[in-house]
Structure formats: C-alpha cells, structure tokens
Amino acid sequence: MRILSGIQPSGPLHIGNYLGAIRQYVALQDANDAYYFVADYHALTSVRDASLLRKYVSHVLIDLLALGLDPDEVVLFVQSDVPETVELSWLLTTVTPMGWLEKCVSYKDKVQQGLPAEAGLFAYPVLQAADILLYDADLVPVGQDQKQHLEITRDVAERFNHVYGRREGVFRLPKPYILDNVAVVPGLDGRKMSKSYNNTIEIFEDPASIRKKVKKFVTDSLPVEAPKDPDTCPLFGLYKLFAKPADREEIERRYREGGVGYGEVKTRLGEALIETFAEARERRAEWVAHPERVAAVRAAGAEKARETARKVLHRARAACGLG
C-alpha cells in the first residue's frame, strides 16, 4: 500500500505532531511503500524569513530521522525539491469550485488568528491535494485537523476524473488514517495542541524545560483528596498517552477514588515524556553531528519522489490536453 504524509516546517515539532502523525509514520514504514515529506511550500503561507525556513526544514528532517524514520525504508523528501507539485496544484486549481475552499475551517481559523487573507492560504488545500494525488497515495496518516483537507482531496480528484472523462480515473482516491485516541492531542491549555495556540510541548525541548512546561498545564482547582474524572481531564488525557500501562491504571484509579493531586500527575507526565524521547534525543545528536548524511538522505529522497511524481503528472497533463 502506498502511504504518504507531510508536516509543515513552521516551527519545532511538538508532541501532538508525534502522537497524531509521526508515530503512525514509523509504524507503517516497514510493511508499506511510504513517502513522507517536509511541506515547505505550505509553510510559505506563514513563515516569511528565508533563513528561518531553511533552518526549520532541516530540523524537521533531522527530527523525523531521530524519531525513527528509516531512510532505507521510506522516501523522505522536501516538498519543494519536487516542483512538479506546483504544476499539478495548478491543474487541480482549475477544477476546484471556490465554494469548497470557502468552507474550509483551517483557512477561517488562520485568518481569525491574524494571518492575512492571501490567495495562497485560501488555495492551501489544493496544494495539499496535489501533494497526495501526485504520489498515488492510498492512505494518509494525519491528525483530525487534516480530515477536511483529505475530503477535499478526494472531491478534487473525483472532479478532475469526471471533467476529463476518464473512466479508469487519472487519480487514485486516498483515505485518511486517523487513530481515535490521538486524533486530537490536547495542549497545555486543554485545547488542541498547536503552534498557533502557543500551548505546545516540543519533542526535543531540553528536559529541564519540559519539567517546567508541564507545570503550566491548566487544570481545575479540586483538592488532592477530591475524586476527579479522568475521562474529562486534559492533563490525564495527555498523561495516559505516554504512561506505562500499570502507571496509567494506578493514576486512573486514584483519580476516581480521590487522592491524586495534579502536581503529581504533572511531574509524572514530565518524566514520562523525557523517558519516551530519550533514545530519539541521542539519535538526533548523531544526525546533527553529520549534516552531510542528512543532505544525502534529502537528495536521495528527492530523486525517488520526483520519479514517481513525473509519471503521475504526465498522466494528468495528458488527460487535460497539455504537452
């Protein structure tokens, strides 16, 4: 099965990215034909400093490798190393009704948060459709916030197939792969963890900073002895995703019976996070020390990705009468 997914290099990766997406990238890499990329064209809608963008791109590549992507198993590449993406995006734009983009919540959200209402931001989902369709992806591992973009991708693919009258279809229709328990990972304020809400815990923050940050997790003010509901407590919601099963069960029981304080859960969460990423932290240091290896992975990924992309783009161009 062809797996594909992308991450924007718009800042350091956080544990929502890890649980919602990257962990699935790793789990799917061995048994499938997987393509993962750093979505730098997309990041242009929010990062407007060239050297910062370059830095973020290389950090995301390094972080993905450190977190367990095996460059011998997957095609790991940078979106803009495959300029075919932008051409396909244009072909798709010409068949995409404005109304489909107008109803996109991510566009409305971003404008509400203060990003300028630019055409690139508006057409963001079409570029994402191009990313996915260009590689004949079957399955796209993502968090819940990308579900609508996947729906638009399928709609655009079907519309293109319909407009250009190909019964056999130019594009393969992809499906999202969203795991229920990590579809929306909560941030420090209980809302979805997101760079734009400033409520993230970064994967590779140093341990002292992780310990400090988890203390900021917003909770209610119930005292230690009061029974609490683990099902509605965002702090427990995050803790349970990292805790060992026995620890999780113990804390869950003490939530229900009373006798657990939020301070204790925060401390445990911090330690669980530090432990979870300890090995990746070491691997990361290795990659950081060898930028030439990262560059080689990037170049090899670009070559393989382009090979696939060229074939699909050729199909799409031929279908609509170009060339």
Residues noted as catalytic: 110, 192, 195
**What is the token pair recorded at 66?**
């450190």
Contact flag: residue 305 with ligand TYM (CB under 6 A): no
Sign of the dihedral through C-alpha 133, 139, 144, 147: positive
Please check if 16 is assigned to a binding site.
yes
Question: What is the closest distance, in whole angstroms, from the C-beta atom of residue 10 to ligand TYM in the complex?
Answer: 7
Q: Which of 59, 110, 192, 240 binds ligand TYM (CB under 6 A)?
A: 192
**Cα–Cα dist 89/36, whole Å:** 18
Task: Answer yes or no: are the C-beta atoms of 160 and 91 closer than 8 Å.
Answer: yes
**Cα–Cα dist 166/182, whole Å:** 38
Contact flag: residue 143 with ligand TYM (CB under 6 A): yes
| 3-class secondary structure, 176 | strand
Please check if 10 is assigned to a binding site.
yes
In one letter, which amino acid is 155? D
Nearest to 301 by CA among 118, 5, 36, 18: 36
Task: Answer yes or no: are the C-beta atoms of 295 and 58 closer than 8 Å.
Answer: no
Q: Which stretch binds ligand TYM (CB under 6 A): 17-25, 27-35, 204-212, 242-250?
A: 17-25
Residue tagged 């393989």 (tokens): 304
Q: Which of 29, 45, 96, 128 binds ligand TYM (CB under 6 A)?
A: 128
Question: What is the closest distance, in whole angstroms, from the C-beta atom of residue 59 to ligand TYM in the complex?
Answer: 13
Residues 6+ apart with CB under 8 A from 149: 104, 106, 125, 128, 129
Contact flag: residue 126 with ligand TYM (CB under 6 A): no
Shorter beta-carbon distance to ligand TYM: residue 8 or 254: 8
Contact flag: residue 76 with ligand TYM (CB under 6 A): no
Residues in 194-213 that interact with ligand TYM by CB under 6 A: 194
**Cα–Cα dist 142/25, whole Å:** 9
Residues in 42-61 that interact with ligand TYM by CB under 6 A: 42
Shorter beta-carbon distance to ligand TYM: residue 149 or 268: 149
Compute how many residues bind ligand TYM; rule: CB under 6 A: 25
Q: Phi then psi for 165, rounded to 5 degrees?
A: 55, 30
Question: What is the closest distance, in whole angstroms, from the C-beta atom of residue 215 to ligand TYM in the complex?
Answer: 20
In one letter, which amino acid is 311? K
Please check if 146 is assigned to a binding site.
no
Shorter beta-carbon distance to ligand TYM: residue 32 or 259: 32
CB 244: neighbour CB atoms within 10 A? 10
* CA angle at 303 for the pair 129 and 168, rounded to the nearest 5°: 45
The mark string for 172-191 relative to ligand TYM (x by CB under 6 A, - otherwise) is ----------x-xx------
Please check if 185 is assigned to a binding site.
yes
**What is the token pair recorded at 108?**
């409305």
Question: What is the closest distance, in whole angstroms, from the C-beta atom of residue 259 to ligand TYM in the complex?
Answer: 30
**By the criterion CB under 6 A, which residues form the site for ligand TYM?**
5-8, 16-17, 20-21, 39, 42, 128, 131-132, 140, 142-143, 145-146, 149, 182, 184-185, 192-194
* Binding-site residues: 8-10, 16-17, 131, 143-145, 185, 192-196
* Binding-site residues for L-tryptophan: 131
